[in-house]
Amino acid sequence: MNTVLITIILVPIIEIYLFIKIGSQIGAFSTISLIFITAVIGIIYARYEGLNTLKSGFSQLVKNELPAYEIISGAAIAFAALLLIIPGFATDVLGFLLIFPFTRKIIFGRFIDKFKNETKNKTKNGKPYIEGEFEDIEEDDERKL
């Protein structure tokens, strides 16, 4: 079965289950308040981390380096902010895991290392190069611009 379809079905079921369990322990008003508070705090922190990632990305570009971690990190922060806006406890936990830099490095560490190794392989003697063919055009050639 399609993974997206399973996710669309399971996530609301898990969230409803958690709403019922947590709501029975702390009360309905407290549960609703907790959902709003986590959303507000998460969005504020996502904005802060997003700006830090943007600054770090620009510093990598100034150094003439590929900001691979910053690109992936920015996408993860945007996804985490979306998860924090969606009401629920499971999505909030996943969103907070993606927002904090320490857990983000753990989650995406191998992928970023692989990406950086692939970009290093596309260099020759430490300098980037472009492969291509060329042809000398004589002075009186009609193909000359």
Residue 85 lies in a domain: yes
Q: Which pLDDT band holds residue 10 (cuts at 50, 70, 90)? A: very high
In a domain, 44, yes or no: yes
Q: CB atoms < 10 A from the CB of 80, how many?
A: 26
Q: How confident is the model at residue 103 (pLDDT cuts 50, 70, 90)?
A: confident
User: Does residue 18 belong to any structural domain of this protein?
Assistant: no
> Could you give the number of structural domains in the chain?
1
Q: Is position 9 within any domain?
A: no
The per-residue pLDDT for range 65-89, each reduced to its tens digit, is 878 788 888 888 889 989 988 889 9
| DSSP letter string, 31-84 | HHHHHHHHHHHHHHHHHHHHHHHHHHHHHHHHTT---HHHHHHHHHHHHHHHHH
In a domain, 28, yes or no: no
Other C-beta atoms lying within 10 Å of the C-beta of residue 2: 7
The whole-angstrom separation of Cα 24 and Cα 28 is: 7
Residue 90 within any structural domain of the chain = yes
Q: Which residues pair with 33 in a beta bridge?
A: none
Residue 39 resides in a domain: yes
Range of the domain at 60: 33-121
In a domain, 67, yes or no: yes
pLDDT in tens, 104-134: 888 877 777 776 666 555 555 556 666 777 7
Q: What is the pLDDT of residues 24-59, one digit of tens each?
A: 999 989 999 999 999 899 889 888 988 988 898 888
Instruction: Name the DSSP class of 102.
Output: H
Distance CA 99, CA 78 (A): 9
